[in-house]
Amino acid sequence: MEKENRAIPHFEVSKKLRFCGYKSIPVSNRPINRFTLADFSVYSNRNMAEIEKNSVGLVKTETIQVVDEKSPLELECGRVLYPIDVAYETYGRLNKSGDNAVLICHALSGNAHVAGRNSPEDKKNGWWDMMVGPGKGIDTNKYFVICSNFLGGCSGTTGPSSINPATGKPYGLDFPIITIADMIRVQKLLLDKLGIKKLLSVIGGSIGGMQVIQWAIEYPDFVSSAIPIATTTHLSAQSMAFDTVGRNAILADPNFLGGQYTDKKGPDRGLSIARMIGHITYLSEQSMREKFGRKLQNADNYSYEFNPEFAVETYLDYQGQSFVERFDANSYLYITKAGDYFDLQKDYGSLTNAFAHTKARFLVVSFASDWLFTPEQSKSVVNALVANSKNTSYCNIASPSGHDSFLLELDSDILSSLISGFLEATHQPGIRQENELDALSRKHLNSHYERARRTRLDYELIESLIVPNSSVLDIGCGDGELLAKLTADKNIKGEGIELEQNLVLACVNRGLPIIQHDVEKGLENYADKSRDYVILSQTVQTVKNPETVFKELLRVGKKVIVSFPNFAHWQCRIQLALLGQAPMTKELPFAWYNSPNIHFFSLSDFERFAGKVGAKIEKRIPLGKTRFSPVQLMPNLFAEQAIYVTSKDF
């Protein structure tokens, strides 16, 4: 009754027990034979309950021919291919307006079976069942979800194991070389057959993410939104090196037989080694250290032989062997080669050119511990989109699990909430004034969220300074409250930059374009004077290098609005002078040891600073207890905070 159709290694059982809430057995690498039958029964029953909860239930993998002899598909390599069959599954219902279709693109070893079960006897759910289903991140009560096995695969769609009509035998290496672009063109033909006129979203991770990007570029009018996860615009030399070693392991296997190994013993050892190599790249060093360390699998001492004895060895052996049982070696060659050929900069001259004509909203997601497709590679996508002024959100999820984080249950909460909020905002456009986070999302908002709300009471005045229909970039935008108000009241085109992951999640759930970014690293992809206003509200005192940051803001914005607490307010002076302690006031609610503030300055200090960085002060609003009554007398002493409107002094 276990979730996966196999004996569960002890290192997986312990982790799944923790996920299911079973706490009487310590989370450790204890061998499975130390569990009692009752222990395992509790685990199984609870795990089955989790599987059945919000499941799409039984689904059938369908197959349809999308290309025939009369209209063969011309591939990027110059060859033509026919016939082409596609295996696919669908979940949910297409609504009357046909605007709720979501396409999921799978990764290297995936297939069309993304959720549910194919038969009552199945003990294994679809590969992304945690994300797809009623009430889940991709909610099948709201969306019509499609997933197909891509061209070149080995799970029902035409690939090298399919029959070549010219010979009556499997293609083998006679199958033409394919690309990511070829894959998505076949997917488009499938959607045409299904009567899909437009996609609400395309979603995928890893190689699936490459397909998502290709979709948005190649079919800009067909795709409303795109969610590329843990992906890249081109493989690095290191990533291609791993692919090369894997392919060489297959090609060097004596049972490969030039790719014509059907009905004989195939290149099992080569494919197994290729999978082991690939799987290492899917995990982070931290996750491998925590899961395996240097633990021995079934002994307390070394055996002094070459049989597998470390836990990590037996794990990789299992991964290799299970992969051989479900995957085709030739497909592995073709799919990894397609990934190697994916290079948008080569195809379009630059990434900026590649994304120039896209029309989709983008949510780009990376994982901090992913060293296969690094966060920097995702940021290159974000930078190109920003350079084109596209509607873009980005979050780098703090997960320790590496590249495979998007497939793991224990790392799914934030990703699920991001996808759910982004899809909802795409399907039902409009910025949400109230932060409509679900309970799962709210639990991730820590005390910094509440602090941000307490310290940002200057929003009303800032809003009064903004001209309607302006473009606004809010630096350190928190949960997006100000941008949401400005959008509703002033019809602005708003964007946010925020470093805190949980606040990024809050902005996505509001429907705001938000990029997780450290402003101290610059805004090089934002063109000069490209925004009417740049706002830095209650943030300048927290940045390490305000001079560099402020110069960047003056470059990007025609006007820069900055607000900050006045550290020279009389209450601060009294506490410091008479009590001899770091001041705490309504505007400065932090103790010295947990304060985000690292610079302590007055209104006079800021005005001298503005002159130094070449900023012209257009308006000064010193604020006291009454927000809308500026302090007239000795503002450097009596103002609790201040708002300045500045611009570049040419």
**Can you say whether residue 206 is alpha, beta or left, with left for phi > 0 and alpha for psi between -120 and 50 degrees?**
left
> Is a pLDDT exceeding 50 seen at residue 101?
yes
How far apart (Å, rounded) are the C-alpha atoms in residues 16 and 407? Answer: 14
- pLDDT at 180 > cutoff 80: yes
Assess whether pLDDT exceeds 80 at residue 335: yes
Quickly state the pLDDT bin for 22 (edges 50, 70, 90).
Answer: very low
Q: Count CB-CB contacts under 10 A for residue 294.
A: 8
What is the average pLDDT across 378-383? 98
| DSSP E strands, 386-540 | 392-397, 471-475, 493-498, 514-516, 531-537
425: nearest Cα among 574, 225, 154: 225
| Six token digits for residue 70 | 């009369």
**CA distance to 35, 222, 372, 582, per residue, from 578 (Å):** 65, 67, 57, 11
Question: What is the distance between the alpha carbons of residues 639 and 620, in angstroms, rounded to a whole number?
Answer: 11
* Residue 182 falls in the annotated catalytic set: no
205 and 229 Cβ atoms separated by less than 8 Å: yes
Whether the per-residue pLDDT at 473 is higher than 50: the answer is yes
The predicted structure's pLDDT at residue 412? 79
- Mean pLDDT, rounded, for 488-507: 95
Pick the catalytic residue from 403, 458, 537, 563.
Answer: 403
pLDDT tier at 467, thresholds 50, 70, 90: very high
Structure tokens at 330: 């030739």
pLDDT of residue 4 exceeding 50: no
Indicate whether 2 pLDDT > 50.
no
Q: What is the pLDDT of residue 556?
A: 97
Active site residue 403: yes
**Band (49; pLDDT cuts 50, 70, 90):** low
pLDDT at 630: 85
For Cα atoms 176, 178, 181, give the angle at the middle one, nearest 5 degrees: 145
Number of helical H runs and strand E runs in the chain? 22, 21
The pLDDT tens digits of the residues spanning 536-557 come to: 999 999 999 999 999 999 999 9
Report in angstroms the alpha-carbon separations of 334 from 150, 168, 236, 339, 576: 11, 21, 18, 9, 70
Radius of gyration of the chain (CA): 28
The predicted pLDDT at position 516 comes to 98
Residue 628 confidence class, pLDDT cut points 50, 70, 90: low
Tell me which of 143-157, 159-173, 254-268, 432-446 is least confident: 432-446
Binned at pLDDT 50, 70 and 90, residue 460 comes out as confident
| Whole-number percent of the chain with pLDDT over 90 | 79
The pLDDT of residue 43: 42
* Res. 74: pLDDT tops 70: yes
Model pLDDT, residue 345? 97
Predicted local distance difference test score (pLDDT) of residue 459: 86
> If you count them, how many residues does the chain have?
650
- Is the predicted pLDDT of residue 442 greater than 60, yes or no? no
Quote helix, strand, coil % in the chain, to nearest 5.
Answer: 40, 20, 45
Decide if pLDDT at 491 tops 80: yes
Q: In the predicted model, what is the mean pLDDT of residues 496-502?
A: 95
Task: Give the per-residue pLDDT at 553.
Answer: 97
Tell me what pLDDT residue 135 has. Answer: 95
Give whichever of 306-315, 352-361, 445-454 has the largest mean pLDDT: 352-361
Least Cα distance to 369 among 402, 333, 341, 391 occurs for 402
DSSP string across 366-377: EETT-SSS-HHH
pLDDT of the residue at 429: 84
Strands 557-565 and 531-537: parallel
pLDDT digit string, tens, across residues 238-260: 999 999 999 999 999 999 999 99
Model pLDDT, residue 436: 52
pLDDT at 262: 75
Q: pTM score > 0.85 for this model?
A: yes
Average pLDDT over residues 619-634: 83
Q: Catalytic one among 14, 55, 109, 206?
A: 206
* pLDDT for residue 433: 59
Q: 14 falls in which pLDDT band (50, 70, 90)?
A: very low
Res 230: pLDDT:
97
Range with the lowest mean pLDDT among 101-105, 123-127, 173-177, 441-445? 441-445
Q: Please give the mean pLDDT across all residues of the chain.
A: 88
Instruction: Specify the pLDDT at position 431.
Output: 64
Residues 578-605 have pLDDT tens digits of 989 988 888 888 898 999 999 999 999 9
Has 287 been annotated as catalytic? no
Question: What pLDDT is recorded for position 435?
Answer: 55
